[in-house]
Amino acid sequence: MEEGEDVFAVRKKYLEKDLPKPTLVEAFEMFIKNEKECFKGTEKELNEKTIQKWYYSRDHIKSFIGDKFKLRDIKKGFERKYFVHLLQSGKMGNNHAIRNVSYLNSVLDYCVMERFMEENPISLKTFLRDQPKPIVYLSEEQVSVVENIQSVDPYFNECRDIFLFMCYTSLDNNEIQKMDIEQHLEGNCIKITRGKTKHRSLQIIPLLPKTRLLLEKYNNKIPIHPTYRINRCLDVIETILKLNFNLSTKVGRKTAGMYFLINDVPLAVVSRILGHKSIVTTQKHYADVLDSLLVLKSTKHLMQ
């Protein structure tokens, strides 16, 4: 009271004198532990990759304010200073930095729930994510060129075929490696579950004639090569095609999505083929391309 506090503030401090008052870093660790224990054994159980992201985020906040920073010292505007620190560290871009600030926001919400703080003083409203990068993909003519590229190196040819399998199916390399065609082939479709633990969805992929030929070529067992080796092969193919973008395994999945869209497969069906949890996800990723396709199809009769 001699320091100017009113009687109600003094009473509150006295009643809460025995409550734990963790530092911000300790609060991070308590939050992670709570999340791990809360969902253990359920469909929402955190996988190791997600848990590791939270620990990385804890390390980032630790590098910013150290071990001893108290929760009561977090004031409005703290999130902006942290955001700038993340950008200036040179380790992440805009969207990655925003994600880490959102992790901090979740921890502070937890602190309010546990009564370590009266309110969460930070806000995410001032941050704007970068717009998605334009989709890059191979045209049907370019895929045909890739099909005819041959090498004396058998590893190169296998890596080329793995990439072509991606272009025909939209599967990525990890999914191809886990695929058991006897288990996942149903009629003329490949059915495989994809996605993270909490957001898994069924991917239903039509078995195109070229897909079937590749499976027959390798006796239903697509070769397995690490992604870095496939990308080395694609560096060569990129030069042959004279592309103005980097050709990587990710382009294979986008090429498949675009192939189905260009050939008038409904968006809802393409979403199911790609294994997106929601059609909104497909619209977001292919928004610019969908607009262009719509304009071209709507004005096709005027071009004749």
Q: Which amino acid is at 152?
A: V
The pLDDT score that the predictor gives to residue 197 is: 46
pLDDT per position as a tens digit, 31-61: 999 988 887 877 777 778 888 999 999 999 9
The pLDDT score that the predictor gives to residue 178 is: 85
d(CA 287, CA 78) in angstroms, rounded, equals 35
β-bridge partners, 185: 190
The pLDDT score that the predictor gives to residue 26 is: 93
Residue with structure tokens 């498949």?
A: 256
β-bridge partners, 186: 189
The pLDDT score that the predictor gives to residue 143 is: 95
Interhelix angle for 287-298 vs 249-262, to 10°? 30
Q: Indicate whether this model's pTM tops 0.85.
A: no
The pLDDT score that the predictor gives to residue 14 is: 66
d(CA 54, CA 31) in angstroms, rounded, equals 9
Residue 269, token pair as written in the block: 């069906």
Which positions of the chain have pLDDT values less than 50? Answer: 197
Cβ neighbours for 243, distance < 8 A, ≥ 6 positions apart: none
d(CA 74, CA 24) in angstroms, rounded, equals 9
- DSSP tag of 19: S
Q: What do you get for the CA distance between the two ends of the chain, in Å?
A: 86
- DSSP tag of 23: B
